[in-house]
Amino acid sequence: MLAQAWVQSADWTGRTPTPVGCLMSGKNTDVVAELVPVLSRGKHRNPRKGACFMEYASYLAGERWSDHPACTHPLLAALGRLVNDFTSDAGRPRLTELVPSVIGLTSDDLRVDTVIALRAARAALPVAAAERQRVMAVSVLSAERVLAELDGRSATVLSEASRQALAQAPDAAAWAEQFTRKMGISPKGFRRHAGPITVHYAVEGIARACVGDPDAILYDLLAGAIDDCTTLINGERPQADTVDELRLTSSM
């Protein structure tokens, strides 16, 4: 099977990479495995030292080596970095298949920040420790109200997904309802402060939760956020065959 591997220039300093076609079978498989970065926790100086989720995205996109590439929405990129770092070493290679899907997903639409934070809060609310559940419940209600304002609809009607998440933590939901009753938050304020805080607390809460497989929840969170952004930004779901052509996994 012939696939395209993006190979960085010889000195690995972050210059524009050169695309090289590689035969994905036989002896060439080992060569490709050496050229493709391996996902690991934290920042890395160059691909030979490994890559976090977003450094890998910058590599595949042909940008300078960075964990803050321009090709991806900032909050989605933050989610990718956090999921990468809080996923176990055993579970992290699975994230590789999602990397190509974040390339080109960027927009100034304030709804993008809100749907990312909302999905993160809903994922964490049922499983996070009690002290985090209140924060997540507040985040769910705040995000729903910001979306309602942006969409020009009533803020009193919650989405079914949010209702289900809040129902799994009724005490936190009741407290958050009282807390947010007189709280005001603007869409721009949500983007600057509440969104990033929500995403960080959610990912950390899931990773530290007393559940059987937090890696699976983190993977589903990131995959779901990518789908949400794809739908919102592009108006459609990604074509599976197109994504599959780009995916490069550590098993090569």
CA distance 65 to 37: 12
In the prediction, which pLDDT does 34 show? Answer: 52
Domain hosting 204: range is 69-252
CA distance 153 to 138: 20
In a domain, 233, yes or no: yes
- Residue 154 — φ and ψ, nearest 5°? -65, 140
In a domain, 215, yes or no: yes
Work out the number of other CB atoms within 10 angstroms of the CB of residue 19. Answer: 10
The total of structural domains in the chain comes to 1
Mean pLDDT of 193-209: 97
In a domain, 133, yes or no: yes
CA distance 149 to 110: 11
Mean pLDDT of 8-12: 33
pLDDT one-digit tens code per residue, 33-58: 456 789 988 888 878 888 999 999 99
In a domain, 25, yes or no: no
- Give percent of the chain with pLDDT exceeding 90: 67
**Cβ partners under 8 Å of residue 84, min gap 6:** 39, 41, 52, 53, 54, 92, 95
In a domain, 157, yes or no: yes
In a domain, 124, yes or no: yes
In the prediction, which pLDDT does 43 show? Answer: 80
In a domain, 37, yes or no: no
In a domain, 22, yes or no: no
